[in-house]
Amino acid sequence: MPTRKVALVTGATGGLGTDMCKKLHDDGYTVCGNYRSEEKAEKWQSKMAADGYTFHLYQADVADFDQVGSMVAAIEKDHGIINVLINNAGITRDGSFRKMTREQWDDVMNSNLGSVFNCCRHTINQMVEQGYGRIINISSVNAQRAQFGQVNYASAKAGMHGFTKTLAIETASKGITINTISPGYIATDMVMAVAENVRDQIVSGIPVGRMGGTGEIAHLVSFLASEQAGFITGANYAINGGQHMF
């Protein structure tokens, strides 16, 4: 039976990634965090260390297949096979479709969906060989409903769950589960930095009357990453305060 103790979180230094890393650390994992900006990562790591968290950082553009391969190889050399993969990294390049450039489309598709292929492709065989794995893909409520100006983002995030379901079927008999989480509006630093009247307008459209917390997403990640969640695969968990139901 493998020791299930190594977790990789992409986009680790953002609001969601930070709480995911903390929760997995508290759960007993060796947490490896992926990042792109070295300056931001160094400050983040220092702050986390001051809070009592030890994370191992690895730089890679997850949209680049070869960079991801090098990152995974380094993690395996340092810590062993990755047991839990959280595909959390993503970007936005919003704009109405009539004005959207090919670059805006490609950037979002490569970073948000191509990255999922890259990270899964470089880890899935090792998970199969050890007979265990947990993959959690972070999508969005806007993959399930329409959102003006996000043809690229919604397409990539919706594609993420199609990817999840199909790979879940291919690996279900191998001790591997693959699931999607689709958050609604979460009170990250980026969201809270927008004008108060804009935030109020957002909250007015959420039936529970507030934005979600990053810790609430991390709690769901923790559950799906656990051994006890072994009968759940190919699922999409909506966590949006009732903003979109289906």
Q: Return d(Cα 31, Cα 12) in angstroms, integer.
A: 10
Write down the catalytic residue from 29, 35, 153, 237: 153
Task: For the beta carbon of residue 166, count every other beta carbon within 10 angstroms.
Answer: 12
Active-site annotation holds for 237: no
Longest dimension (CA), the chain: 54
Q: Return d(Cα 93, Cα 155) in angstroms, integer.
A: 12
Task: For the beta carbon of residue 176, count every other beta carbon within 10 angstroms.
Answer: 22
For 116, counting Cβ atoms within 10 Å of its Cβ (0-12 exposed, 13-18 middle, 19+ buried), the class is: buried
Q: Return d(Cα 213, Cα 218) in angstroms, integer.
A: 9
User: Catalytic residue numbers?
Assistant: 153
